[in-house]
Amino acid sequence: MKALMVDVDGVLVRGRPEDGRHWSTSLEADLGLRPEDLHREFFAEHWNDIVIGRVRLEDRLSEVLERNASHVTADRLIDYWFEQDARLDCRLLQDLSELRSRGFQVHLATNQEHRRAQYLMGTLGLVGAVDGIQYSAQIGAKKPDMAFFEGAALAVGMRPADLLLIDDTPENIRAAQGCGWEAVLWTGEEHLLDILKVHVPTRFAGDEFEKPCG
């Protein structure tokens, strides 16, 4: 293994900053928009095209909001969504820093549209925590499609066998393995070091990472 490829949602980012619950938990109370309406009218209808870069997030969202919550602008909802879906896993971030200090590359490998990818790297500051981000709208395909894994490997300039994916979705794990990657299902319960002891035993056997922050 030469690079760790880390999923974002459900792995590195886990819900609302204050409690880890889904970002839309208080959406109706805060913005007057029912989550079920947003899911039905927006995510179910348009998200696939948005997340692979075919259409812009704000264009489709504006159309949906005009019909369902005309008092809310697309930019207002986007800001709310991103801010409410930004709880970083502090322990995992420290472990990734340790991994990079040992000469491994760390990349995000995630299904994202362009604006949230920029938010993750810029506003949340992940640009300083990883070597890069490989995301679906940039690649033009999403996990678990084979084209995503092929595109991500090409972007980092490595063979599939050099890459280890950490992801919380079993379907993505199977697809990555089918493309020649190493892949481990992330539950948040196992320490990253224990995973690396299995996959890179000569570099991590007997080691301990620093204590988690907080």
* pLDDT in single tens digits along all 214 residues of the chain: 899 999 999 999 999 999 999 999 999 999 999 999 999 999 999 999 999 999 999 999 999 999 999 999 999 999 999 999 999 999 999 999 999 999 999 999 999 999 999 999 999 999 999 999 999 999 999 999 999 999 999 999 999 999 999 999 999 999 999 999 999 999 998 889 888 888 888 777 666 655 445 4
Q: Which amino acid is at 187?
A: T
Give the pTM.
0.93
Domains of the chain: 3-15+87-204 (3.40.50.1000), 27-84 (no CATH)
Distance CA 192, CA 209 (A): 9
